[in-house]
Amino acid sequence: MTKHIIAAAATLLTLAAFIYMFNSDVEVQKMKNIATLIEKSKIEVKLSNKNEIKQEIKQETSAQSNKKEESEMDKKLKALKDKAGNMAAINVSPLYKKNCSSCHGTVGEGIIGSKLIGRSHDYILKALMDFKSGARKNYVMYGLLGNLNQKQLEELSTEISLFQEKLDAATKK
């Protein structure tokens, strides 16, 4: 009887091995079919074409970058020319240059400080007097104006109030 059990077990093991091998053959066939599909779908690109494509992409990217840089550079140059033109168009006093231009710009266009161009004489004079007295709180202005007398404050007010008029006259030339 043990012989029969051993024979049955051997038959079952043979059958299991046969099924396993059949499944393996099916999987191998699937892999071959996939490999065939991949091979058929391959597009050959010559190496020189890849390099040419890469070069064209680099050139396009470089051209776009150069256009952006040129555009930004043109804007900066225009701003610089405008500023230089404004500086040359209006002669400002040494008093304004020393005390005001670093914050308010060469012709009062405003940099760190507020825009002064186009303001009236009375407005500017009152603001200067308020800063000097401490009625308007700004320690920088207080420090700058502390050593100036009433006559200098009047001169600055008059000069600053005429910036727009002088600039308009200079640009019409």
Q: 13-66: per-residue pLDDT in tens? A: 888 888 888 888 888 888 888 888 777 776 665 555 566 666 777 777 776 666
Q: Which residues contact 104 (CB under 8 A, 6 or more apart)?
A: 110, 111, 113, 114, 115, 116
Instruction: Give the chain's radius of gyration (CA, Å).
Output: 43
Q: Which residues contact 96 (CB under 8 A, 6 or more apart)?
A: 156, 159, 160
Is residue 131's pLDDT more than 80? yes
Please state the domain extents for the chain.
Answer: 50-89, 93-172
pTM of the predicted structure, to 2 decimals: 0.50
Is residue 74's pLDDT more than 90? no
CATH (one of 2.60.120.10, 3.40.190.10, 1.10.760.10, 3.20.20.80) for 93-172: 1.10.760.10
Q: HSE on the CB side for 147, CA within 13 Å?
A: 6
